[in-house]
Structure formats: structure tokens, C-alpha cells
Amino acid sequence: MILKRKLSLGLGFLFIIIFALTIFCSYYVQKVARDSDNILKNNYDTLVFSKKMLLAAEDMKTAAQWVVFNPNKNNNAANFYLKLFEAARKDFELNKKAENNNITEIHEDEYVDSLNRNYEVFAGLCAQMKDGRGNNAMYFNELLPAHEKLRTAIVSINDINMQAIVRKNELTRADSRSILISMSVIGTMCLLLAFGYLWYFPFYISNSIEYVSKKMKDLLKTVGITPENEPNDELFLLLQSMDLIEKKFMKPVKKKR
């Protein structure tokens, strides 16, 4: 019963080592994957918003420019640029709203505030140009500087998120290295424990069987029984010894008629 219990404990110990190592590895692999996803999620979204706002602001400026420098408006061309302006305005405001809800970095809110202020000025000037209330002087002296300020605010938001991606990527790489070291240390410890168990347990069982076999051989000599052949297998020797003792001391039972 004790041997059976020890066998069960030993096999259970090996199972626990394997299970713990599997859980540990799975947890940290998922952690690295989750951190990588977090890096790409919010910051990548801001890069997309920034790019779309830059393109939309450029289209709004182009539409206002066409109105200012084309006083004799062609209806088809005028309709095209008016539609371009409206579509660009809606696209800009949609992405601006998304960016206002996606502030994740330190000082990013300051750049977003600058974006909101500069957009109001730029959009107002573009609306005046679109409606024919602008002129060349307003375009060069007010609209272009307003566009440049707006562009600077967008680029600043873009830059701070690019820096965040680089920084978080370095942190993730550092975490990955530390996790790899931890997994290596724990894996090595588990392997050493497993090898120690694999060395000790067979040694313990073989010593026990060898001890019992030796005692059995001494008992055979004591009672004057000499085996015909002595096998190398300790278990077979035990069985043979028990069989010889049984034949010598156990009387055959006569069957009743």
C-alpha cells in the first residue's frame, strides 16, 4: 500500500510540474500577445485619423482656392469643388470627433485642443471662401497660415503617437526578454525536479526489491533450499523463492471424494 501511494504521489508530482509549466507558458505568451495588440490598437487608430484629417484639410483648402482664383465660375466645376468641400468637411469632423475620444498619451489632449481651435478658424475661413466672401489677400494672409497651424497640430498628434508606439514596443520587447528568462529558469527547475524524481524513484524501488530479494535468498539458505538456477531478475527471484518455500512447507490439500 505504501509503494502504491508513493507511485501515485510520484506520478502526480510529474503531472503537476508539466501542468504548471504549461499554464505559466500559456499565460505569458497571451500576455505578450495582448500587450502587442494594445500597442497597435489606440495608437494605430490615431495615425489613421491623423492621415484622414490631413487629406480632408487639403481638399478643403483646394476647394476654397479654386473659388478664390476662379471668379468666373463654371457650373460643373463649381459643383464639383462645392461637393469636394462638403465631403472633406464631413470626413474631417468625423475623424476629429474620433480622435477626441481616443486620447491615450501624455500631452495628447493639449494637441487635440489645438486641433479643435485651429480647425474652427480654418473651417470658418474656408466657408467664407466657398461662399464667395473671400479674396486673394484673405487666402494668402489668413487661410494658408490657418491651414499650416491646423496641419502642425495634426502632425504633432501623429508624432506623439508614433513615439508612443516605439516606446511601448521597446517595453514589450523588454517584457518579452524578462519573460523568456523567467520561463527558462522555471523550465530548468522543473526539468531538474523531474530528472531528480526519475533518478530517485527507480533507485528507491530497485533498492527495496533488491533488499527483499537478499532477505529471501538468506531465508532459502536458512531452510536448506537451493534454487536450481538463480535469475538476474529480482522480481522473478522473489516469485521463484516464494514458490520453493510454498512447495517445501505447504502440505497439499487432499480433495474429498
User: CA dist 209 to 77, 215, 218, 239, 242, Å?
Assistant: 101, 10, 14, 12, 14
Q: Give the domain extent around 113.
A: 2-192
Closest CA to 45 of 193, 130, 209, 157: 157
Residue 246 within any structural domain of the chain = no
**For the segment 82-113, what is each residue's pLDDT rounded down to a tens digit?**
899 999 999 999 999 999 999 989 899 999 99
CATH of the domain at 110: 1.20.120
Residue 36 in domain? yes
| 222 found inside a domain | no
Closest CA to 40 of 104, 134, 127: 104
Alpha carbons 201 and 5: distance in angstroms, whole number: 13
C-alpha cell at 153: 497640430
Residue 37 within a domain: yes
Q: How many domains does the chain have?
A: 1
- What are the cell numbers at 5? 501511494
Could you report the per-residue pLDDT of 195-208, keeping only the tens digit for each? Answer: 777 777 777 777 77
Q: Is residue 232 assigned to a domain?
A: no
Asked if residue 208 is part of any domain, the answer here is: no
Q: What is the pLDDT of residues 13-64, one digit of tens each?
A: 777 877 877 787 778 777 777 766 666 788 899 999 999 999 999 999 999 9
What is the value of pTM for the model shown?
A: 0.66
Give a yes or no: residue 236 inside a domain.
Answer: no
Scanning the structure block, which residue is given the C-alpha cell 533488499?
A: 211
Give residue 27's pLDDT: 80
